[in-house]
Amino acid sequence: MSRIGRLPVEVPQSVSVDIKGTHVRVKGPKGQLEHTFPASMDITQDKGEIIVKRPSDEGTHRAMHGMTRAIINNMVIGVTDGFEKILEINGVGYRGELKGKNLVLSVGYSHPVEVEPPDGITFEVEDRNRVVHIKGYDKALVGQVAADIRKVRPPEPYKGKGIKYQDERIRRKAGKAGKVM
C-alpha cells in the first residue's frame, strides 16, 4: 500500500472541508481551494481527518492514491499557512521593484518587464531589490508564477547573471582559454 496515500490528512479547526463524491472544497483563513479527483478514489472525512482509499492494487490506482492524498494535504496547508517561493536576481544593474501590486523587472533588456500577479498571489521585494518573494495559498500556482518569472531571464552559466531560485545552484562553465604561445 502507498506509504503516502495511507496517511490521514489532519484538518485544523480553522479549516472547513466539503466532500461531494470526488469533488473536494477546502476553505480556510487564507482562501478557498477546490479540486475534482479521479472517480476511482474513495475520499472520506472522519473526526478531523481526511482518508483516501483506493479500490485495488492496479498500477494506475496506486499512482492516483498517493497523488490524491498529497494534493488534499497541499490544499489544507495552503489555506492555513500558505506557500512561498523565493527568487534571487543576480547581475549588475538587475533589479526588481513593486509598482502597485505588479512586479517590474529590469534585467538587461531595452525595456522593463512587468509581471501582473494572478488572484491569490502576492509579491514582496527586499534586500536592495535583489530578492523576490512569491506568496500564495495554491502551491501549483505559486510554483508556476515563480517559473514564469524565472523564464524572463534564466541564469547563464558563465557569469551567473539572471533570475534563479534561492536554493538553486548554477553550474558554472569556464570562459575562453587564453592564447597559448
Mean pLDDT to the nearest integer, 20-41: 94
Q: What is the mean pLDDT of residues 65-73?
A: 95
Residue with cell 524572463: 152
Q: What is the mean pLDDT of residues 116-123?
A: 96
Pairing of strands 131-136, 49-53: unpaired
CA atoms within 13 A on the CB side of 110: 0
**Do 51 and 44 touch, CB atoms closer than 8 A?**
yes
pLDDT tens-digit profile of 125-175?
998 899 999 999 999 999 999 999 999 999 999 999 999 999 999 999 988
pLDDT at 8: 94
Count CB neighbours of 74 within 10 A. Answer: 19
Per-residue pLDDT for 1 more than 60? no
Please, which residues bridge with residue 58 across strands?
Answer: none
